[in-house]
Structure 1
Amino acid sequence: MPALCDTWDIMSNVNLEGYMTALGISPCLRKIALTVKVKKVIEQQGDQYTIKTTSKVKNYTIAFRVGQEFEEFTKGLDNRRVKSLVTWEGNKLVCEQIGEKKNRGWAHWIEEDKLHLELYCEGEVCKQIFKKNANE
């Protein structure tokens, strides 16, 4: 398993608006989200992972065990209830979210010294790249 656990600062963000449109997020909230710099903190304790996504506007935390389906409420994002399942696919930590939106989920992986994240929903894919936080 790759060393995802660290604090990461966003470097690039491609097609966030398309992804948010697919989720049904309002134009006003999309405009705000496009200006926000996010940080990710990925932690592991035993077999449980916690991913915290923080910004000056909103924070979102998800905790899960790989291979165990769980109920997720995407509060503060698109406010939906989904069934989520996170698995390892090679070196990628992949989440499938089953609910009202089709083909929804995400994948995190390390490439060189960067954290890559793909968020996808109904054919739209947002690609984000993060670098390790220099203050950690």
Structure 2
Amino acid sequence: MAFLGKLYSHDRDENYEPYIESLGLPADRVANLKNYKPQQKLEKNGDTYTMTAVSAAGDRTISFKVGEEFDENLAEGHNAKTTFTLDGNTLTQTQKFADGNILYTKREYFDDKLIVTLTRTNWDGTAVRYYKA
């Protein structure tokens, strides 16, 4: 797991704006997310992983254990039942919301890049965010 502790910087997006617009969020939150281009890092301490996103808007840190569902408190009071799975260099995050929507975030870590693929229920597209190490 050579990718642990490595900082990845946002490079470019594909189909990200339509994905954000499909979420049904207030206009100001949509605008903030469209401009959100964080650096990302994944670290491990024992059986707990910590994922950190660093941006001008502030840092966001989330700690989790693979395979264990937990309550994730998102912006503006949105909550999800979140589970992470890890298969080799691929970390998949599943966020289940009370309204039935499910968001899937697949992070594929490589020595020189991170590829983040975003899909969700009730939207037939796929968004991809690319990061460089």
For these two proteins, the number of residue pairs brought into alignment is 130
Aligned partner of 2:96 among 71, 89, 98 = 98
1:129 corresponds to which letter in structure 2?
Answer: Y
Normalising by structure 1, we get a TM-score of 0.80
Moved over 3 A (4+): none
Normalising by structure 2, we get a TM-score of 0.81
Shift of 1:87: 0.7
- Is residue 20–residue 34 contact of structure 2 (8 Å, CA) maintained in 1? no
Distance in structure 2 (CA, Å) of the matches to 1:31 and 1:68: 32
Aligned partner of 2:78 among 70, 77, 80 = 80
- Structure 1 gaps, min length 5: none
Shift of 1:33: 3.4
Q: 1:105-124, aligned counterparts within 5 Å? A: 105-111=104-110, 113-122=112-121, 123=123, 124=125
**Higher alpha-carbon deviation: 27-36 or 123-132:** 27-36
Are 1:40 and 2:40 counterparts? yes
Deviations 1:89-126 (A, max 9, x none): 45311111111252312111124621111122232432
2:132 corresponds to which letter in structure 1?
Answer: K
Aligned equivalent of 2:126: 125
